[in-house]
Amino acid sequence: MPFLVAAVQTAPVYLDLLASLAKAETLIAQAATQGAALVVFPETWLPGYPAWLDSCRDVNLWDSPAVKQVYRRLAENSVVVPGPVTEALGAAARAHGVVLNISVHERVLAGRGRGTLYNTMLTFDADGTLAHIHRKLMPTYTERLIWGQGDGRSLHAVPTAVGRVGGLICWEHWMPPARQRLHESGEDIHVAAWPQLKEMNLVASRHYAFEGRCFVVAAGALMQVKDLPAGLEPAPELPTDPDAFLLRGGSVIIGPDGTILAGPVYDEELILMAEIDLARITEEQMTLDVTGHYARPDVFGPAA
């Protein structure tokens, strides 16, 4: 049976976890009211992608008091999993009967020492259960200043009320073994979480849908110059207009043959929606199935 999926393209309240959580709850309710059965948010939407790593001066300077203060604020506004924030998100999914995929800065407190931060994707089933936790395997370039490395145990789709849902975060989409591991887990719907969808990010998302013969919901966020953290100096090449966009969205929903079903949309706050029918997946497997007749395990060997 066809159903609606939604990509939420908006800005959080940057570096304010509780205000961003309240906004997320409102957006989940809005998407559900519009009929969405699956609601997807962009990369580290709680409490916002750290674009300041590439958009401000001297971020990589050793022992910078200003940067350390921003990092402290980020850590203090990151999500403990499980914890009160995940309980609230699960309650929102349950109250509105939606499958929810939302990416966060995760602060790990358990175990030895003071823990670390991760770029983490959370999937909640429609009954509110936290069904899956995936930490980004390899933070990209400057992101390594703030995030630890995830592990591969989460590279699989999980059953939900809308089908088998999996996901990758940003440049994980250019890691072929990660893609194949997810393909082999039988994804129906793939979540592609990005800070924004530039041209190559859109190419990667469409390629993933075509390769995996699955639907892709790719979500990108919005961020304006004025959203950069106070105390950091914007890079000289940035626009001087405080309302200019640093992150432009570009959210898109893609079919299992790579066809764009909705989007991409830039520089606009919206909930992007499209109707999908999982029966289309089997139709497209006739010509390409990288886990079936195109897998050739006799040549490439079993999956790791």
Dist. CA 6–CA 141, nearest whole Å: 30
Angstrom distance (rounded) from CA 88 to CA 282: 36
- Catalytic-role residue among 43, 106, 187, 284: 43
3-state DSSP helix/strand/coil % of the chain, to nearest 5: 30, 30, 40
Going by the DSSP 8-state scheme, the letter that residue 145 receives in this structure is: G
> DSSP string covering 164-198, please?
EEEEEEGGGGG-HHHHHHHHHTT-SEEEEE-SS--
Sequence-ordered list of residues with C-beta below 8 angstroms from that of 208, at least 6 positions apart, any chain: 168, 173, 179, 190, 192, 214, 216
Q: Cβ of 59: how many Cβ atoms within 10 Å? A: 21
CB 40 within 8 A of CB 191: yes
CB 41 within 8 A of CB 103: yes
| 43 is annotated as an active-site residue | yes
| Alpha carbon separation from 283 to 164, 173, 206 (Å, rounded) | 17, 24, 17
Which residues are annotated as catalytic? 43
